[in-house]
Amino acid sequence: MAKHRTILLKNIHEEGQHTLSGYESRGGYQAIRKVLDMDPLEVVEEVKKSGLRGRGGAGFPTGLKWSFVPRDTGKPVYIIMNSDESEPGTFKDRVLLERDPHLCIEGIMIAAWALQSHVCFNYVRGEYAFPFERFHKAVSECYEKGYLGKGIFGSSFDLDIIPHRGAGAYICGEETGLIESLSGNKGQPRLKPPYPAVVGLYGCPTVVNNTESLASLPWILNNGGEAYAEIGTEKSTGTKLFSVSGHVKKPGVYEIELGYPLLEFLEDECGGMLDGSRLKAIIPGGSSVPALRADELDGVNLDYESLQAAGTLLGSGGFMVLDHTVDMLDAALNFAHFYSHESCGQCTPCREGGHWIEKILQRIASGNGRTEDIDLIKDLSSQIGGHTICPFGDALITPVLSYIEKFPDDFYGKIKASERYLNVVN
C-alpha cells in the first residue's frame, strides 16, 4: 500500500498554487476540458467506478448520490459545495480552499457537467474569512478568463459559481439546513423525504457534496475511476484527509491512503505523542464520533469499515489525540456545551435535552454530582437519539455516552469524591 500517495495535497506548497496561472501550470483545468467532450452520464458512471464516498462524514457513495437526480423535471439542477466545516477537530477543507481553490472549482465544474447544472454554490463556513476570500478571488479569475459564465472553455455549456458565506451555524453543515439557509430561511434541517436530489434548493433537484469530495474529481476524471478504486481498500477507496490535533508532535492536515494502520499513522506521520505524554484516547472522526481507548487501537485501520468494526466512525477525519492528562468528564462537558449551544432549536429533544445534559455534567464537574446523575444522562440520551429531524441529536449524545462507557472512572471518581465530602460535612 502506497500510504503516502497524494492527490489533493500534491501541490499545496507550490508557489502561486492558489492562483489560476499557478494551478494551470501544474495541469489544472485539463480534466474539465476532457469532461466536456464526454457524455454526462458517462461522467457519473466514472465516479461510480471510483468508489468515491462523501468525505463530509456520512460516507455515502458520490456517484450513487448523483444518480438519484431526476433529469426530466424541466427544473434547473443545483450543485452546492459544502464548505461549512464546523465539526470540532476538523480543518481539512480550509486547507483546500486556501491553498488550492481552483482544484475545488474544477471539481464543481465536473459535477456541474455530469448533472447538467448551470448554477452552483459554495457555502463556506462563516468563520472562514480568509478561505472565503481565496475562493472568491479564484472564482473571479475564472470569470475574467472566460472559464465561467457563458460558453465555458469554448463549449456551449454555461456555468455560474456563486460563493456564499454562512453566519457561523454548525447545523448548516447538514445538507437540508444548508439549503434552507441558502434559500434565505432559518438554517433548520428539513424532514426527509423528499430528499434534496428531488426537492432541494428553491424546490429544485439539488446535490450537496463536501469540498474534499468534489476536489477529488479532477484526479478521477484524468486518471479514470478504476485507477482511483485501486487506491485504498475494496470498500474504502482513494485517499482521505485527516485533521490531526492534540498531544502529538506534528499536528496538521495529512493525506493518506485509506486502510492505513491507525497506530502507524500516529507514530510515522504525526510524530508520536508529545514527550512525557501517554496516549489515553483517540477520537478519529471529529467530535460527534465515539472515542477509542489506547488499548483498543491494535489492528485498527483508518477506513470506514475498520473503524466501524472497532466501534467508532471515520466521520470527517477530525483525528484528535488525547493524552493521560485529559479528564474525559471535562472533554464531555466541553462538547456538551458546544452542542447545546449549536442546536437550531427546532426539535424539543435537542433544544431542551442538550442543555439538561450540559447542566448535569456541570454539576458533576463542580463537585455536586450524584451517582444517579449517570443514569439520568443515559435516560435523557435515550429520548434524544433517533428522535430528531436530523442526526444532530445523535451527535449531541455520542461523545457523552462514549466517554462514560470507555472512561467511567473519570465520571464516577468525581461523583464519589463529592459524595464522600458531603458525608463528612453532614
Task: Say if CB 43 and CB 171 are below 8 A apart.
Answer: no
Residue 32 located in a structural domain: yes
Torsion angle, alpha carbons of 222, 225, 228, 233, to 10:
180
CATH of the domain at 389: 1.20.1440.230
Residue 219 located in a structural domain: yes
Residue 41 shares a structural domain with residue 174 = yes
Amino acid sitting at position 340: S
pLDDT < 50: residue spans in the chain: 1-2, 425-426
Amino acid sitting at position 404: I
Domain boundary among 285, 302, 323: 323
Residue 353 shares a structural domain with residue 280 = no
The predicted structure's pLDDT at residue 1 = 45
- Report how many domains make up the chain: 3
Residue 71 shares a structural domain with residue 204 = yes
Residue 55 located in a structural domain: yes
Domain boundary among 173, 199, 229: 229
Residue 71 located in a structural domain: yes
Residue 199 shares a structural domain with residue 83 = yes
SS3 of residue 122 by DSSP: strand
The pTM (predicted TM-score) of the whole model is 0.93
Residue 9 located in a structural domain: no
Joined together, the cell numbers standing for residue 385 give 437519539
Residue 14 located in a structural domain: no
The predicted structure's pLDDT at residue 124 = 97
Residue 8 located in a structural domain: no
The predicted structure's pLDDT at residue 399 = 95
Residue 153 shares a structural domain with residue 189 = yes
The predicted structure's pLDDT at residue 115 = 97
CATH of the domain at 312: 3.10.20.600
* 280-322 pLDDT tens trace: 999 999 999 999 999 999 999 999 999 999 999 999 999 999 9
Residue 247 located in a structural domain: yes
Q: Could you tell me the residue range of the domain that residue 306 belongs to?
A: 239-323
Beta strands 318-323 and 279-283 are antiparallel
The predicted structure's pLDDT at residue 420 = 61
Residue 244 shares a structural domain with residue 369 = no
Residue 127 shares a structural domain with residue 177 = yes
Task: Say if CB 93 and CB 134 are below 8 A apart.
Answer: no
Residue 25 shares a structural domain with residue 128 = yes
Q: Give start and end residues of each alpha helix (H) in 73-201.
A: 92-99, 101-115, 129-145, 175-182
DSSP 204: S
Residue 274 shares a structural domain with residue 342 = no
* 190-208 pLDDT tens trace: 999 999 999 999 999 999 9
Residue 283 shares a structural domain with residue 139 = no
The predicted structure's pLDDT at residue 419 = 62
Residue 355 shares a structural domain with residue 285 = no
Residue 215 shares a structural domain with residue 126 = yes
Domain boundary among 308, 323, 338: 323
CB neighbour class for 409 (10 Å; exposed up to 12, middle 13-18, buried from 19): exposed
Give CA–CA dist 219/222, Å, rounded.
5
Distances, alpha carbon 111 to alpha carbons 33, 118, 120, 166, 211, in Å: 13, 10, 10, 22, 12
